[in-house]
Structure 1
């Protein structure tokens, strides 16, 4: 179970705290067990800060706290704080990346499920698409995506298995495996009935809760070989 520690503190010397954090990151390379750190500043009190540190588990957090570098940095940290920092230990009982869920809607509900009406809910009207299969470097508009999905669904009966997803900032990266049966014309190739597979990676960039831009990289050469085109 993931574990989160919340550190609540006040300081008039945030630059010093940032230097301490950089120092700790450098000194604990290859040893620290913390996976994610986020620091927020109170909008109503400029001296009030909250740091959220994520660990794979409580046991890993204990290992991290036992590092001599962590102990040393903590002592230096308290010297910069106005009073003693407070700590809240939390077991994570729900972790929902909302953008990853939206990205999954495209693969499961739209591409495989065929619900083209959902495109307007998931994609911005001025969505920008970058696809290795297209002559144009950038295609603008969600209607272009609607046309792409229609074409692929007409050429293949397919499923998509999502192997992994990584979210950072506004971007969601999805690694997937596509399996399809060739039932209709595709890039000038008449139906062969061949069952094909290919792998790919899609990066979606979000804005205001919708997908604003997408980059597609997939093994088209492998697909064409399976269809007998190469």
Structure 2
């Protein structure tokens, strides 16, 4: 898959999931046995686990938007740098809804084969997110 088609696939995936809130669309973009790194404890492998994690996000956050800052491809691997913004409107990791608007960086990497994502490495800035939700002190508060 060339870089243009890979970027189009990735953008469509983000749009369908986050803007249209279509969890079932993950079947279109991911192989059923896609491998996720890291896989949170208790989450099943494959697209079913990805759907579970997506459901948690969509139930916890509303008004989700993304900005794709960069997109790189090397053979079957792609890497993106995105920023997600959203409003915390549901319980997330035991943190009750705060109504706060959050902004979080994400640096996912994907391996694509035959037009589907077969492996994902995701590095969402959870530390920043938890600080924005008030679950952890900010750097200034900790100093």
* 1:89-128 paired onto structure 2 within 5 Å: 97-128=4-35
| Equivalent in 43, 58, 63 of residue 153 of structure 1 | 58
Q: Provide the residue aligned with 2:141 in structure 1.
A: none
Q: Provide the residue aligned with 1:187 in structure 2.
A: 93
Q: Which runs of 4+ in 1 moved over 6 A?
A: none
User: How many residues get paired?
Assistant: 134
Structure 2: how far apart are the matches of 1:184 and 1:131?
24
| Equivalent in 198, 210, 216 of residue 104 of structure 2 | 198
| Highest RCO, 1 vs 2 (Cα 8 Å, sep ≥ 6) | 2
Structure 2: how far apart are the matches of 1:199 and 1:127?
23
Structure 2: how far apart are the matches of 1:96 and 1:168?
8
Query: Structure 2, unaligned stretches of length 5 or more?
Result: 137-143
- Give the TM-score of the pair, scaled to structure 2: 0.86
Higher alpha-carbon Rg: 1
- Give the TM-score of the pair, scaled to structure 1: 0.55
1:119 Cα deviation after fit: 1.3
Q: Provide the residue aligned with 1:172 in structure 2.
A: 78
Q: Does structure 2 retain, via aligned residues, the 8 Å contact 1:110–1:118?
A: yes
* 1:1-230 paired onto structure 2 within 5 Å: 97-131=4-38, 134-135=40-41, 140-157=45-62, 158-230=64-136
Partner of 1:175: helix, strand, or coil?
strand
Query: Structure 1, unaligned stretches of length 5 or more?
Result: 1-94
1:151 Cα deviation after fit: 0.9
Instruction: Give RMSD over aligned pairs.
Output: 1.9
1:139 Cα deviation after fit: 5.3
1:103 Cα deviation after fit: 1.4
